[in-house]
């Protein structure tokens, strides 16, 4: 058994799909597929996770496998399109790395298969429609060339509160707050004063043909129509059919061709609704990161391209261990999760976001609503003064949350404080003959060095694999 590399759905010079197979040594798989024995360097690979301010590290993702081409036998690949195609590196038939090809790099004697970060597809703007500007007033819902042509149509992901909709038909006073069909508008305000709801339309045709009564609004999906011209700023409350965090994150991932682990969908949904109002280009990864930060969580991708997004928790003891005999070097850079490698004594969450802060409110607006409209978020604070007494330079963190629920945000603040207010070691271990870990998984570190003789439970936050030398560098936290 040996290292093997498979590139699926590569396109040849005639644009026909081909599966490319390479190996380190002669190899046939169980289906008698031949693997061209051209692997020179099985690979250098890096992987990591993101957990916002909970971890003092950046996310990583990289990979490269080198093939022998001294005889020119791989020159035909110059005519192949492999970018964006799935690639799998396996050892003894067990996949070690699953990713996406970025490109092939040619030298005189080698061809390098360069992998793209497995999250790269999420780094581009989240899919949004744009306005065509084709209205022939008084008809149409796409604006005109003189107003919104070419601009992005807004999206409500989860919920939006006090969001300013886009005027898509100025003649008929029609606005749009979301291009998604499962959006429901629940309230419309003129300078903060709630207008009367005249009911829902049943179609876009009825939306354009039937005018509401004065001072009323009616809606169809993410559109609203006013019965009279507004006196000031128009804002709306709107939500998807299921605005919970897990359902929203799952839809975000699916829109880019990823799957969110079913267990994580259920866990995230326990946090209730999230609030996103997207009016311009925003990377999908940034949106998912914000959900992870909001729950005191983490985000990574598994070798099977399934996303993991859930609570970041303290390590658990496990039989999977890294022991003295496999450790080459060990360094500990921090004994606390906060800035400067110190514990955290205060956690603040900014939650329950509204989109539009208003001071120009109608005189009919209640004092309670007036006070709420004066600030974008509500604040939750969790503190532990005993931590600051022990560590006078202990740090604090502030999380800009997308959670709608104040009570759930309180729970997050308390949980994150409990997690970060105690000793948390950040360790890097260079090891040989160690098993390839699961990102976010647990390991026990056992060595007489630096006080780990009895073993310490750690979580894997990243690794770097040199597949040729079987050297593994682990980033651990715990």
Give the pLDDT score at 99. 78
pLDDT-derived band at 303, boundaries 50, 70, 90: low
Average pLDDT taken over every residue of the chain: 93
Question: In this structure, is the dihedral angle defined by the CA atoms of residues 313, 315, 317 and 319, taken in order, positive or negative?
Answer: positive
In a domain, 223, yes or no: yes
300/349 same-domain check: no
- Alpha carbons within 13 A on the beta-carbon side of 316: 5
- Per-residue pLDDT, 437: 82
Q: Does 125 map to a domain?
A: no
What are the tens digits of pLDDT across the range 253-278?
Answer: 999 999 999 999 999 999 999 999 99
- Cα distances (angstroms) measured from residue 178 to each of 284, 299, 377, 403: 17, 27, 22, 19
If you average pLDDT over residues 141-168, what whole number do you get? 97
Answer yes or no: do 150 and 219 share one domain: yes
Task: From 68, 118, 77, 71, select the one nearest 95 (Cα to Cα).
Answer: 118
Are both 469 and 413 inside the same structural domain? no
Q: Tell me: the pLDDT tens digits for 10-64?
A: 999 999 999 999 999 999 998 999 999 999 988 888 888 999 889 877 777 778 9
The verdict on 390 and 447 lying in the same domain is no
Q: Are residues 328 and 458 in the same domain?
A: yes
Question: How many domains does the chain fold into?
Answer: 5
Looking at 205, 240, 275, the residue that finishes a domain is 240
- On whether residue 129 sits in a domain, the answer given is no
The Cα–Cα gap between 450 and 439 comes to 24
Answer whether residue 126 is part of any domain: no
Last residue of some domain: 219, 240, 261? 240
For residues 415, 420, 421, 424, the Cα torsion angle rounded to the nearest 10 degrees is 140
State residue 1's pLDDT score.
56
State yes or no: pLDDT of 249 exceeds 80: yes
Per-residue confidence (pLDDT) for residue 386, from 0 to 100: 97
Residue 346 reports pLDDT greater than 60: yes
Are both 182 and 160 inside the same structural domain? Answer: yes
**pLDDT score for 92:** 80
Q: Does 138 fall in a domain?
A: yes
Report the pLDDT value the prediction gives residue 374, as an integer from 0 to 100.
Answer: 96
Same domain, 282 and 250: yes
Contacts of 435 (CB under 8 A, 6+ apart): 320
* Residue 57 within any structural domain of the chain: yes
pLDDT band at 291; cut points 50, 70, 90: very high
Confidence band (pLDDT; 50, 70, 90) for 170?
very high
| pLDDT tens profile 358-414 | 988 998 999 999 999 999 999 999 999 999 999 999 999 999 999 999 999 999 999
Per residue in 409-431, pLDDT (tens digit) is 999 999 999 999 999 999 999 99
* Alpha carbon distance 184, 347 (integer Å): 34
| Residues 327 and 441 reside in one and the same domain | yes
192 and 283 both lie in a single domain? no
Query: Do both 79 and 53 map to the same domain?
Result: yes
pLDDT value at position 456?
94
161 lies in the same domain as 221: yes
Per the structure block, which two tokens stand in for 88? 């799998």
Last residue of a domain, one of 70, 93, 120: 120
Structural domain contains residue 398: yes
Average pLDDT of 196-200?
A: 97
Domain holding 53, by residue range, is 3-120
Q: Hey, how many other C-beta atoms are within 10 angstroms of the C-beta on 223?
A: 23
- pLDDT above 90: percentage of residues in the chain: 79
Please check whether residues 415 and 433 belong to one and the same domain.
Answer: no
Query: Does 128 reside within a domain?
Result: no
């Amino acid at each position: 058994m040996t290292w093997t590399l498979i590139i699926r759905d590569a396109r040849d010079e005639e644009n026909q799909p081909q599966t490319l197979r390479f190996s380190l040594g002669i190899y046939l798989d169980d289906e008698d597929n031949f693997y061209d024995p051209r692997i020179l360097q099985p690979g250098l690979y890096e992987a990591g996770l993101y957990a916002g301010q909970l971890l003092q590290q950046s996310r990583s993702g990289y990979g490269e496998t080198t093939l022998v081409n001294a005889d020119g036998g791989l020159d035909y690949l110059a005519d192949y399109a492999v970018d964006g195609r799935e690639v799998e590196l396996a050892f003894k038939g067990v996949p070690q790395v699953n990713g996406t090809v970025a490109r092939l790099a040619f030298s005189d004697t080698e061809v390098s298969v360069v992998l793209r970060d497995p999250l790269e597809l999420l780094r581009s703007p989240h899919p949004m429609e744009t306005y065509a500007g084709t209205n022939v007033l008084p008809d149409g819902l796409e604006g005109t060339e003189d107003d919104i042509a070419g601009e992005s149509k807004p999206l409500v992901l989860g919920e939006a509160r006090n969001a300013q909709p886009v005027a898509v038909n100025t003649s008929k006073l029609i606005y749009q707050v979301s291009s998604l069909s499962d959006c429901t508008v629940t309230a419309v305000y003129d300078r903060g004063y709630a207008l009367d709801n005249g009911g829902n339309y049943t179609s876009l045709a009825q939306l354009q043909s039937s005018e509401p009564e004065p001072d009323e609004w009616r809606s169809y999906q993410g559109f609203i129509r006013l019965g009279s011209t507004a006196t000031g700023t128009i804002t709306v409350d709107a939500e998807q059919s299921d605005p919970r965090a897990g359902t929203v994150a799952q839809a975000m991932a699916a829109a880019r061709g990823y799957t969110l682990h079913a267990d994580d969908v259920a866990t995230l949904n326990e946090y209730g609704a999230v609030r996103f109002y997207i009016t311009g280009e925003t990377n999908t990864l940034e949106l998912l990161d914000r959900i992870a930060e909001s729950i005191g969580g983490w985000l990574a991708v598994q070798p099977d391209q399934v996303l993991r997004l859930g609570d970041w928790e303290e390590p658990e003891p496990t039989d999977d261990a890294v022991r003295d005999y496999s450790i080459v070097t060990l360094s500990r850079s921090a004994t606390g999760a906060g800035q400067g490698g110190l514990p955290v004594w205060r956690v603040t969450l900014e939650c329950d976001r509204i989109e539009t802060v208003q001071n120009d409110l109608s005189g009919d607006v209640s004092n309670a609503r007036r006070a709420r409209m004066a600030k974008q978020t509500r604040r939750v604070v969790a503190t532990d003064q005993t931590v600051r007494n022990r560590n006078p330079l202990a740090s604090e963190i502030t999380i800009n949350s997308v959670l709608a629920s104040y009570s759930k945000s309180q729970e997050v603040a308390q949980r994150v404080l409990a997690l970060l207010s105690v000793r948390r070691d950040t360790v890097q271990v260079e090891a040989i003959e160690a098993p390839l870990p699961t990102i976010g998984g647990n390991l026990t570190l056992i060595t007489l060095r630096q006080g780990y003789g009895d073993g310490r439970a750690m979580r894997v936050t990243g690794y770097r694999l040199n597949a040729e030398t079987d050297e593994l560098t682990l980033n651990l936290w715990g």
